[in-house]
Amino acid sequence: MERQIKFLSSVHGAVCDVAWRARLDAEIAMPSTQDRTEVWWQYGGRVFEGWLASYGSLPVWAGADDAFQRWGVRHVLHLRDDMVSLADCGAFSWREHEEPQASPMEVAEWAHEWRFDWAISLDHVVPDYDATFDRHGLRSAPAEWQRRVDLSIRLGGEYLDACVTLGAQFTPFGACQGWSPQSFAKSAKAMRHMGYTHLAVGGVTGLPESDMLTVISAIRDAADCEALHVLGGTRLRVLPEMQRRGATSFDSTNPGRQAFMSPDGAYFGVAPESRWTCVSLPRAERNKAVRDNNRMGLTTNSDVNALSSAALHAVLDWGERKPGVKLDDVMAKIAACHDTHSASKGYLAAVYGTLMARPWEACVCRACKTHGAYVAVFRSAKSAQLRMYHNNHQFQLWMDDQFATWSDEPERRLF
């Protein structure tokens, strides 16, 4: 089965760096395409098909708004022609509130001013999922769930009106919310009736695979649409089935987020869904545990940085297979570095396994081919950005593997 479903990344390392640079240069000149720092331009390859930004995360972009309004998302981030940009309201950020913390016009205006390609209507998340209510009719569900679905439908209509008022050039997606297959189908029918030709389904991130697939089928059966985006639909094992049932795109923070959140499992392996622990080498000025020890007089910044630098060079020498470099000596320097704060024996054992396996040698991405073991070092923004590129590249290969092994024969499918 050929993969056609698009993967949109909602986190990647270049975004904050480029946004900050754009903020500083907003009154001077936009960086040219010759000054690209984004790893997908430096190293090429297919790492994702698009990028998603959330209105609910706007504080992250503080100060860069002028640049995005002036040049647009595609130009500021230097998205390639085969990539798409998608604006989402970020309903999860106000899930605890009774009402969305924005208006349809505000969200539409933001997507219009930043010149996104696609944009999803304003909606409100239903707090839970329970398909058993379908047995007794939609009105048997909790009143608050019903209110949020009805509110999302009404806001979808107002959002479409706002798009017309603004003369928006992006393609609007109607957000479908629900608590069961029938309630999602109701949302989809309402959105199509309003005039949406493209739909998005929200609130399915935490659902079991079988429930999410049922929701996708319910929406597609209820409303014929040109495209269906699944918000947070990272289900590697069933991506082919998602596509077969009508999903055309999905987004995920997982490959990028795991690259910098924790060294545990931060480096994606060649085998599908395999992950390796990165070598964490603290920099004194950026590590809270080190700063706490400094205040207690147990360490100094210069001592910590010297140990960290020595360990880094040892790891890189090991990665390059330099003569005379022994893994036990490398581990001793890593352990000495971690004595300055705290590291469990389990963590050091996991690092030993990573260095022994040398997973960067089996990777074909240009980040690993160029930088080797440094991609598996948890230390700086640069290494995190390279690892984000690597993880997204590896995720693409994992997806290709799933589609290559998926069977068109119903009796051999998982669902």
Domain termination site, one of 200, 230, 252: 252
In a shared domain, residues 116 and 143: yes
In a shared domain, residues 136 and 13: yes
Distance CA 77, CA 30 (A): 11
User: What is the count of structural domains for the chain?
Assistant: 2
Residue 406 lies in a domain: no
For the chain, the straight-line distance linking the first and the last C-alpha, in angstroms and rounded, comes to: 16
In a shared domain, residues 238 and 293: no
Residue 413 lies in a domain: no
Residue 409 lies in a domain: no
The CATH number linked to 234 is: 3.20.20.105
What range does the domain containing 24 cover? Answer: 6-252
- Tokens at 94, concatenated: 């106000």
Distance CA 190, CA 206 (A): 24
Tell me the β-bridge partners of 280: 378
Centroid of chain to Cα 194? 30
Centroid of chain to Cα 92? 15
In a shared domain, residues 185 and 93: yes
Q: What is the pLDDT along the chain (415 residues), one digit of tens a residue?
A: 889 999 998 854 444 444 444 443 443 344 444 444 455 555 556 678 888 989 877 655 656 677 788 888 888 777 888 889 999 998 888 888 999 999 999 999 999 999 999 999 999 999 999 999 999 999 999 999 999 999 999 999 999 999 999 999 999 999 999 999 999 999 999 999 999 999 999 999 889 999 999 999 999 999 999 999 999 888 899 999 999 999 999 998 888 888 888 899 999 999 989 999 999 987 755 555 655 666 655 566 677 788 889 999 999 999 999 999 999 999 999 998 876 445 577 899 999 999 999 999 999 998 999 999 999 999 887 888 889 889 989 999 999 999 998 876 554 455 5
In a shared domain, residues 123 and 226: yes
Distance CA 75, CA 125 (A): 32
Domain termination site, one of 200, 232, 252: 252
Whole-prediction pTM value? 0.87
In a shared domain, residues 245 and 338: no
Q: Is the separation of the CB atoms in 217 and 238 below 8 Å? A: no
In a shared domain, residues 152 and 288: no
- Is residue 96 classed as helix, strand or coil in its secondary structure? coil
Q: Is the separation of the CB atoms in 86 and 117 below 8 Å? A: yes
In a shared domain, residues 235 and 268: no
Domain termination site, one of 252, 269, 292: 252
In a shared domain, residues 279 and 148: no
- Tokens at 48, concatenated: 């994702």
Residue 348 lies in a domain: yes
